[in-house]
């Protein structure tokens, strides 16, 4: 295994581990639990789940895989705070969106070679990428893994 393959394997291993932990945490909660606030006056778990699903949905075009599927939910889960949009999908629907997006990402991730992980993502220009080659697909996964871990720490507060 060469260095690039080892790096990709390590980064994707961390991503998959955090995603598996998130799945277990969300699956252990009932739909009623998803509607609870993390703490009084804070986001509900369903909002965090929707937020994470939409962040992952945005990775599809960012990583040059395919178009975003749930852009119509961005106001609800990315642009506006929890409870500011009244017509939210059910907890069951948000769970399905989460699973669907992560399944799509997994298929795309599996299809990439180690070298392809070091290609630029869609929000960096060719010129900037020459100067900053670390702005690649793999670096996006590192950032999203940290983001996921942060929010799972919030969800863990509900279980106490």
Q: What is the pLDDT of residues 37-89, one digit of tens each?
A: 998 889 999 999 999 999 999 999 999 999 999 999 999 999 999 999 888 99
As a residue count, the chain comes to 160
Per the CB < 8 A criterion, the answer to whether 97 and 142 are in contact is no
pLDDT higher than 70, residue 133: yes
Whether the pTM exceeds 0.85: the reply is yes
pLDDT higher than 80, residue 160: no
Quick one: pLDDT at residue 86? 84
CATH code (residue 92):
1.20.120.450
pLDDT higher than 90, residue 157: no
Average per-residue pLDDT for the chain: 96
Quick one: pLDDT at residue 19? 98
Mean pLDDT of 114-142: 97
Alpha helices in 29-136 (DSSP H): 31-34, 45-62, 74, 91-111, 126-131
Quick one: pLDDT at residue 1? 83
In angstroms, rounded to a whole number, what is the distance separating the alpha carbons of residues 54 and 56? 5
Per the CB < 8 A criterion, the answer to whether 76 and 50 are in contact is yes
Mean pLDDT of 139-160: 92
pLDDT higher than 90, residue 23: yes
- What is the domain extent for residue 147? 3-158
* Number of DSSP helices (H) and strands (E) in the chain, helices first: 7, 0
Quick one: pLDDT at residue 156? 92
How distant is the alpha carbon of residue 27 from its chain centre?
16
Mean pLDDT of 24-47: 94
| Number of compact structural domains in the chain | 1
């Amino acid at each position: 295994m060469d260095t690039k393959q080892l790096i990709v394997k390590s980064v994707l291993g961390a991503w998959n581990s955090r995603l598996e932990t998130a799945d277990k945490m969300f699956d252990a909660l009932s739909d009623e639990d998803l509607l609870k606030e993390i703490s009084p006056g804070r986001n509900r778990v369903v909002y965090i789940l929707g937020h994470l699903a939409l962040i992952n949905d945005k990775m599809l075009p960012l990583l040059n895989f395919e178009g975003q599927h749930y852009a119509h939910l961005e106001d609800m889960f990315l642009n506006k705070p929890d409870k500011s949009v009244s017509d939210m999908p059910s907890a069951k629907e948000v769970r399905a969106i989460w699973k669907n997006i992560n399944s799509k990402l997994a298929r795309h991730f599996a299809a990439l070679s180690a070298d392809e992980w070091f290609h630029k993502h869609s929000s960096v220009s060719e010129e900037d990428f020459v100067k900053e080659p670390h702005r690649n697909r793999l670096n996006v996964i590192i950032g999203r893994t940290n983001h996921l871990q942060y929010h799972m720490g919030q969800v863990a507060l509900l279980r106490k």
